[in-house]
Structure 1
């Protein structure tokens, strides 16, 4: 993550283990996308570990490649993937229908940021104990707001308790990281979101409360 290669590799390795357990705990095909989130975060953290190593070993070509791979996760994958995964997990009802526009928003944000990544290259550089990703288009207020809606509000719309917890923690971490680490926001928030994704494990192992017909319809 933003602190060191060791921190990134440690977080990535930890999430590989958690992600494997979560995938094994998923019982139905519609659960697999949501269950894969910790594993995908693990890959992203391992990629950032390599980004750190490129600074230490002066490997500019590898740095460019890994920076763009990391940015694909942070900019393109998550705004489209998270609302879609939550939508697939949700039972039929008003909550599921309410997620449809959020899925569309996430897809639009993802498409826009993919285009911007192609047109404007992202540059990573070490600043003290942090990695700064020079991606100024990401900070447009409207894009940031829609990104936040797709990645944190979509879980909050779920009827599943631990999915809501994941969304709430992601939203709280967004505020804290943006306040304390604005210059390194992409790296730091992705790190904390990665660690917070471990709560997804509890969605699959804790008993699911029975829902009344009224709750399902809502």
Structure 2
């Protein structure tokens, strides 16, 4: 996270462990994309920890490469990936239609932001002791609203209570990060969302031991 490399590395390692458990608990292939969310957040946090170590001017080329990779996660992956992952979990037709529409919107936002990442690369800087990602195109009101629609609001249309809980928590975290950490919004919100992704584990209950699944002998 923007606060320290240690925080990012610690969160990343913990999320990789939690994500591994979550993936192991998934019962169907359609559940895997949602189960992988903590793993992806874990990788993203490890990348940001590495970015932190490139300051001040210790490895400018590595900083540029890692910033681009981190930005692909934060700007492109999440608005596309989240609604699709939620859609694959959803059994109710009308909710699936809504999620499909949001997935198209998220895809458009992700591709729009990808264009700017390529044409006007995002720069990471230390400001006030925290990492700020200079990304003016992200802060356009319409873009930000559609981004939140894909990353947070999409989960509120799920019929699964734990998925909705994650969506609500992520939305509150986004608003809080915007109000209190606007300059460092991207870094702070991604960190909070990463930590909150442990809620994904709650969606996948622990499987009972094999012995409990067997019928008692007559």
Q: Please indicate the TM-score interval, normalised by the length of the shorter structure.
A: over 0.9
Shift of 1:98: 1.4
Alignment root-mean-square deviation, CA: 1.2
Q: How far apart, in 2, do the equivalents of 1:129 and 1:27 lie?
A: 43
Which sections of structure 1, spanning at least 5 residues, go unmatched?
A: 208-218
Q: How far apart, in 1, do the equivalents of 2:116 and 2:52 lie?
A: 24
Which sections of structure 2, spanning at least 5 residues, go unmatched?
A: 208-218
Tell whether 2:87 aligns with 1:87.
yes
Matched positions, count:
207
Offset from partner CA, 1:156-182 (integer Å, 9 cap, x none): 000001000000000111111100000
Correspondence for 1:102: 102
* Deviation beyond 6 Å, 4+ runs, structure 1: none
Tell whether 2:17 aligns with 1:2.
no
Q: How far apart, in 2, do the equivalents of 1:165 and 1:92 lie?
A: 18
Q: TM-score, normalised by structure 1?
A: 0.93
Q: TM-score, normalised by structure 2?
A: 0.93
Shift of 1:7: 0.5
Deviates more, 1:156-165 or 1:125-134: 125-134
Shift of 1:39: 0.2
Q: How far apart, in 1, do the equivalents of 2:145 and 2:192 lie?
A: 19
What SS does structure 2 have at the residue aligned with 1:118? helix
Q: How far apart, in 2, do the equivalents of 1:195 and 1:56 lie?
A: 27
Tell whether 2:147 aligns with 1:147.
yes
Shift of 1:143: 0.3
What SS does structure 2 have at the residue aligned with 1:15? helix
Higher gyration radius (CA): 2
Matches within 5 A, 1:1-218: 1-56=1-56, 58-205=58-205
